[in-house]
Structure 1
C-alpha cells in the first residue's frame, strides 16, 4: 500500500469512527496493519475500534502485540503514545456527553498507567455523571495515597477542585470521602480554586444539616491556616449546631482574642453567650458576657460605621438573639437593637446599591398604577417553613387563604428536600414556591421578579439571610409575623400583634407600625397527636403524685424562674418535677440540682426526660403532667399551644416584651385566666394552688377541652380572615400614599 492509499484508508477509518461504524473502521485498520505491520499506531486504533465494540479482551491483546517485539527501553514511549490515543477519544466522548463510554475508555487508560492522577480524577468525575459514584472509588483507585505521596506530575488543579466540589455536594460522607477532602486541601489552599470550596462546606453544614461533618472539614483547613477568623466563626457555629457546646465556646473565645474590629468582637461574644446559655449553667459568666456584648453594641452605635462588609453587617442583628432570654426590658433592649438594625440596613443597601435602587424605583412607579381590585400577591419568606415551630404554626394560614383574592408565594430559604412539612404545606399549597439556597440576593431577585405586593418575614433576626432580604426591600410593603420578634429593620413596615402580646406602650419603642389583629396573632386548627410512651411507673412516680412539667429548650431557662419552680415543688406535697429540654445532659442537671438544693428540694423529686422521637409523641407525652410551668422572661410559644391543646393547666408569668407575653395571649384566646401571673409571687401562688386543688385543675381541663369548639386560638379560618383584612388595610394605605 503506497503512502497515498494508506492516508486515504486512515481517513476513511476516521470517518467511520466518527459515524459510529466501528466494525468498518476496524477492517480498514486491519488492512493498514497488513500493509504496514511495523506502523505501531495502527494497532492502537484497531484496539480502540474493538473496545468500542465491547470487545475488551481482543482490544487488550491487539495493544499488546506490537509491544512484544520492541526494545524494553522503548516501551514507555509507545505506552504514552497509546495513552494519548485513548485520551483523545475519551475527551471526544466527554464533549459528546457520552459519559459511559468515556468512563470505559479511561478505565483502560488506568490499566496502562495507574499513576495518571488526572485520569483517575476524571474517572471519579465521570462516575458522578453516570450515577456510579459509591464513595469507595478513592480507595480502589488509590487516589488518596497518590495525592498524599505527590508521586505525579502536572496535577490539574481545576479538575481536582471540580471533583472535590462534587464530593462536597454529595452526602453522605464516608471515611474515604473525608480522607480525599483532606488530601486535596494542601493543593488548593493557596490557589484561586479554594474560594469555591468554602461555599460547599457551608452547604454541608447548613443545607444538608451535617454540622459535625462541616466542622471536621473546617478543622482540616485550620491545620493549614490556624488563625483564619472567618473559618473560626463558621467552625464555632457548626460546633454549636452539632451540640458540641464546649468546643463552640472555646472556638468563639479564640475568635474574640483574634478580633480587632468591633463588629467581629460583637459576633464572637454573641457566640460565646449563646453557647453559655444553651448549656444551662455558668450563670455568672453568662451575666458578665451579656454586659460585654451590650457594651460592644453601644460602642459600635457610637462609631456609626458605614462601610462594613456583608459578613460583619449581618452579624450585628443576629447578635441580639440571646438578650431577651436573659432580661425583660424591651424599652432599653429595642433602643439599642433598633439602632443596630438601622446600621445593618444602611450597609446592606450600600453593598447592593444598584439592586436596592432598582427595587425602590419600581415601588414608586408601582404605587401610581396600583389597583386595589387585582389579587394581592402575598409572599412568605423563611427558612423555618419545615419541621420547626414556625412551620407547624403557619400551616393554617396557608390552608385557609382565600385564593380568589390572594395569590400565595413562598420563598423557602435553605430548602430541605426531605421535609414533608415543607412539601405538603408550603410548596403544594402555594400558588408558586421557590426552593432557594442561602444567598440573599437570589431570594430578593425572585421576590422582585414575582412583583410581590406584601412580603411577610417569618424569621426576624434568627436568620441573617432573611434580614438581608428585608433590608433590600424587594416588595413595597414588608411585614414581620410569628418569628422571634420584630427585627427593627427600618425597611419593614408592620409587625403583626394582637391586644395582649404587646403592652399598649410598645409602639413607643418599635420602629415598625404595630398592627393588632382583633383577637389573636396566631391560631391553629389543632395538632397531630401520637401514642404516649411515658408512664409514671417507668419514672418511679406514684399514681397519686402531682406532676409538674417544664418542656423548653435550655436557653429559655433562667435561674430566677427556676427558683420559683422549686418553691412550688417544695410547697406541694408528693409532687415531682419533670424537666425536658435539649442541651448537654450533665450541665443542665447540675443547674437544676444547685437551685433545688438552695431551695430545699430533694434531687429525688426531679426527673430529666430525653427528647421524644417525634412532635406527635411529644404532644401525647405532655398528658403525664398535671400542671405545666412556663419559662420567663422568654415564654413558650409552640409548647404553650401544644399544652393548651392537650388540655393541661399552665402557669405563666406575664412580662413586657413580646417573648414574655406569648403564653398570656394564648391563654386569653383559649378562654383561660387561671394560671396567669403578673408578679413573681403570683407565679408561685398559682403553681401551688393548681398543684393542691385537684378540683380547680379539673375545671381548667374542662374549659380547655370545651375551648376547642369556641376559642379564637383554635379557629385558623377566622384568624386567616383577620390576617387578610390586615393585608387589605396595608394595601389600601399604600395606594393612598399614607
Structure 2
C-alpha cells in the first residue's frame, strides 16, 4: 500500500491539494518508516508554505534514512538558506550565518548560500570574508550578477575604483539592464570626474527602472559636482517625489541650496526647519540625563564625525584634539570614518596618548551610537558634519547628551531642534545677522575655525608674475561654488588686466564636456579660452598645495565662500580677495581674512571685489613681498593659534555647561514648543544614508534591498566628495 499512498500524494500535490497530499505521504511513511521520498516531498510542501522549520525536520528524517539522497540534500540547503535570511532579517545575523554555513554542509556548491553569506559578512563589516563568498558565489553561479555588483560596492568603498568598475561591468555583461549596477557604475564615474560617462550610466539606470529614486539622487550629485546647481536640485526633488523619505536626497537638496542662497528670504531656513521636524519623528528623544550638575567639574566632550581622515574638516578639528586640557575636558571621539588613513591613525594616537577615548562607529546604527554616548556620560556632544556625507544627525536627534552642538562641517542650521547651539563667530555671523537658525548661535572670541596646515605643504614659491610677466588669478574651489555670477565677475577682472590668466582646478575638468561648457561661458563673457588653464584633481596633497605656485592672486567664490581652499591659499602665500554677504556661507572668508590681517581684501559688493583684485594686480613688487610674508603672518594669527583657540573653545563649553546646570537648555524649550504644536502630517520613515547591497534571498533572481546602498554617492552627503559618495557631499 505504501507506493499507492505515495503516488496519491504526488497526484494531490500536482492538483495543489496539499493537505490531502500531506496526509497521503504521512500514511506512506507510517507504513514504511524508511520511505525517504515521502519525507522529502512533505518537506517541499512545508517549504512552499513558508514553514521552514517543519520542512527542515522532514528533510532531516529523509536524510536519516537515506544520507546520500541528493534531491533532499539540495532541498535542505535551500530551506536552511531561506531560514538564515529569515532569522537575519529578524535581527539575529549570527544565527543567519550559521544557517547559511549549515546549508553548505548539505550542498557545498550552493551559490545562493554563498551569496547570502557575502551579504551577511558585508553587513557585519567583515569585508574580506564578504569578498571570499561573493567570489565563490560567482564561481558556482556565473550568472549571479548580484555578486559582481556587491563586489563592486566593496571595492569602491576601499577606493579600488578600477576593480569596482570591472565588477560592475561584469555584472552588466550578465544583466545589461541591471539598474543597480548601471547606477553604481555611474557613481564611480562621478567620483572619478567622468561626468559624461556617469550621466549615461545613471540615465540608463533610470530608463531600466523609472521609479529608481536613488538614481535621481545620484544624478543630482553628478550635476552638483559639474556645477549645475539648479539641475541638481531638480534631480533631488524628482527623487523625493518618488521617495519622499529619501534621507540622501532630502539632505543633498539642503546642501545644494546653500550654493545659490544669498539670504534674501527665509526659504532655505524653512526648508531646514521642516526637514528637521519631519526627521525628528523617526527617533525617540532622551529627556533626562544622569550627568552630575556641577558647574565646575571636569567635562566630557564628545566629537562625532566621519571626517577624521585627509579631508577638509580634519584641518579644523585637529587643534581641539591636540590642545584640549584633557584633565578638565576629557575628549571622546566617535569616528565614523569609512576608510581610515595615516591621518586617522595619527589623530587616534594623539587622543589616546592624552587620555582620551577613541570609538570607531562606522556601520553602527545611529540609535546604538546614541546609547554609547549615554553610557560614556558625554556632557557636551559636538557634531562636525551637518547635512554632508555620512553624517550622524539621527544620533543627534535622539538627544543622548544634555548639551548638543553643531560646528565646522556645514555652513547653515541643521534644522534639528535637539541641537542646542551652533558655534560661529561675530564676523561669519554678525550679531545683527538676519539669517535664521534653529540652534542658538554661540560666537567664539576670535575666528570660529582654527586651521592646522598640512605638514606636506612644502615651501612658499615666489609669485609667478615675477618670471611670467603677467598676473595669474586662480581658484581651487569646487565647481558648485563657481556660479554664473561668479564667472561674470571673474571675467570682468581678467578683461581689465591685460595678458592676465585664470587657473581653476577641479575634479570634473578631466571631462571634455565640462571643460567646454566652462570655457564657452567665459568666452561669452569676453574672456578667450586660451587665457584659461583648467586642471583636474591632483591626488597627492603635496602636489595639490604646490599647485598654488601657479597663481598670484586667489579669487574667492560667493555666495558660498571657500574655507579650506582659502586657508590653503593664504598658507601658500597667495592673497585672496573675498566678499562679505548676508549669510554665514558668504562670510567665512571675511572671518578668515580679518583674523589673518588682510581686512583690506574684503569687498562689500561686486564692483569693490573687482577693484580690489585690480589693485592687487597693479603692483607686482608689493604682491611678491606680501607673498613671502603671508605664511608667517597667518601662522602667528588666531587662525593658526591652536592653544589659544582651545582655551576660547573650552571657555565657551564651560558657559554652555553653566547654563545647563541652571536649567537653561535651548533644545528642551524648543522640543516643548514642538510638542504643543498640532502636527497634521503622518509620521514618515526616512531611509538610512548608508549603501545598498542588493541581496538575493534564496531563489535565484529575487532581489531585495538588504541594508547597504551603493546608490548614494552623496549624501551622500549624504554623501555625502573631497573625500560620498558616498562621500560625494562637498564639505566647505
**1:688 paired residue number:** 614
1:638 and 1:392 mapped to 2: Cα distance?
A: 8
**Structure of higher RCO (CA pairs closer than 8 Å, 6+ residues apart):** 2
2:141 and 2:192 mapped to 1: Cα distance?
A: 23
1:232 and 1:491 mapped to 2: Cα distance?
A: 39
1:413 aligns with 2:336: yes
Within a 5 Å distance, the mapping from 1:450-465 to structure 2 comes to 450-465=376-391
Q: Is the 8 A contact 1:630 1:650 kept in 2?
A: yes
| More moved, 158-167 vs 516-525 | 158-167
- TM, length-normalised to structure 1: 0.66
Q: Is the 8 A contact 2:333 2:358 kept in 1?
A: yes
Name the SS of the counterpart of 1:275 in structure 2.
helix
> Which of 422, 428, 431 is matched with 2:350 structurally?
428
Q: Is the 8 A contact 1:630 1:636 kept in 2?
A: yes
1:728 aligns with 2:654: yes
Name the SS of the counterpart of 2:508 in structure 1.
coil
Q: CA deviation at 1:290?
A: 3.1
**1:396 paired residue number:** 319
1:273 and 1:425 mapped to 2: Cα distance?
A: 33
Relative to 1, partners in 2 of residues 1:238 and 1:733: Cα closer, same or farther, differing over 3 Å? farther
1:681 and 1:641 mapped to 2: Cα distance?
A: 24
> Which of 513, 520, 539 is matched with 1:587 structurally?
513
Relative to 1, partners in 2 of residues 1:729 and 1:503: Cα closer, same or farther, differing over 3 Å? same
**1:337 paired residue number:** 272
2:622 and 2:434 mapped to 1: Cα distance?
A: 37
2:238 and 2:161 mapped to 1: Cα distance?
A: 31
1:444 aligns with 2:356: no
Q: CA deviation at 1:682?
A: 1.7
Q: CA deviation at 1:180?
A: 5.0
Deviation per CA, 1:207-257: give whole Å up to 9, x if none.
x23455446545666778888877776565444334343344345446667
Q: Is the 8 A contact 1:314 1:344 kept in 2?
A: no
Deviation per CA, 1:647-670: give whole Å up to 9, x if none.
322111223232222111100111
- In structure 2, stretches of 5+ residues that fail to align are 1-72, 75-103, 665-732
Relative to 1, partners in 2 of residues 1:314 and 1:554: Cα closer, same or farther, differing over 3 Å? closer
1:717 aligns with 2:660: no
Q: CA deviation at 1:289?
A: 5.1
Q: CA deviation at 1:498?
A: 0.3
**1:287 paired residue number:** 230
**1:509 paired residue number:** 436
Instruction: Compare the two structures and name the one with the higher helix fraction.
Output: 1
Relative to 1, partners in 2 of residues 1:475 and 1:257: Cα closer, same or farther, differing over 3 Å? farther
Q: CA deviation at 1:732?
A: 1.2
1:550 aligns with 2:475: yes
- TM, length-normalised to structure 2: 0.66
Q: CA deviation at 1:502?
A: 2.1
| More moved, 441-450 vs 164-173 | 164-173
1:379 and 1:225 mapped to 2: Cα distance?
A: 47
Deviation per CA, 1:23-72: give whole Å up to 9, x if none.
xxxxxxxxxxxxxxxxxxxxxxxxxxxxxxxxxxxxxxxxxxxxxxxxxx
2:163 and 2:397 mapped to 1: Cα distance?
A: 32
| Number of residue-to-residue matches in the alignment | 553
Name the SS of the counterpart of 1:461 in structure 2.
coil
Q: Is the 8 A contact 2:237 2:249 kept in 1?
A: no
1:199 and 1:455 mapped to 2: Cα distance?
A: 35
Q: Is the 8 A contact 1:377 1:408 kept in 2?
A: yes
Q: CA deviation at 1:609?
A: 2.9
Q: CA deviation at 1:735?
A: 1.7
> Which of 235, 240, 245 is matched with 2:195 structurally?
245
Q: Is the 8 A contact 1:279 1:587 kept in 2?
A: no
Q: CA deviation at 1:436?
A: 2.7
Q: Is the 8 A contact 1:270 1:319 kept in 2?
A: no
Larger Rg: 1
> Which of 205, 211, 217 is matched with 2:156 structurally?
205
Within a 5 Å distance, the mapping from 1:466-481 to structure 2 comes to 466-481=392-407
Deviation per CA, 1:361-388: give whole Å up to 9, x if none.
5xx1426x42234321111111111100
**1:366 paired residue number:** 290
Q: CA deviation at 1:184?
A: 5.5
Name the SS of the counterpart of 1:674 in structure 2.
helix
Q: Is the 8 A contact 2:216 2:239 kept in 1?
A: no
Q: Is the 8 A contact 2:308 2:337 kept in 1?
A: no
Output the aligned Cα RMSD: 4.0
| More moved, 549-558 vs 528-537 | 528-537
Relative to 1, partners in 2 of residues 1:729 and 1:184: Cα closer, same or farther, differing over 3 Å? farther
2:165 and 2:482 mapped to 1: Cα distance?
A: 27
Deviation per CA, 1:451-506: give whole Å up to 9, x if none.
21111111111134412222222222211111022322222111110011124454
1:294 and 1:608 mapped to 2: Cα distance?
A: 31
Relative to 1, partners in 2 of residues 1:490 and 1:210: Cα closer, same or farther, differing over 3 Å? farther
> Which of 237, 253, 269 is matched with 1:319 structurally?
253
1:172 and 1:608 mapped to 2: Cα distance?
A: 43
Relative to 1, partners in 2 of residues 1:460 and 1:241: Cα closer, same or farther, differing over 3 Å? same
**1:528 paired residue number:** 455
Relative to 1, partners in 2 of residues 1:625 and 1:221: Cα closer, same or farther, differing over 3 Å? closer
> Which of 642, 653, 658 is matched with 2:579 structurally?
653
Q: CA deviation at 1:673?
A: 1.7
Deviation per CA, 1:420-445: give whole Å up to 9, x if none.
11111244324110123233344333
1:530 and 1:246 mapped to 2: Cα distance?
A: 33
Q: CA deviation at 1:411?
A: 1.1
**1:496 paired residue number:** 423
Relative to 1, partners in 2 of residues 1:595 and 1:218: Cα closer, same or farther, differing over 3 Å? closer
1:275 aligns with 2:222: yes
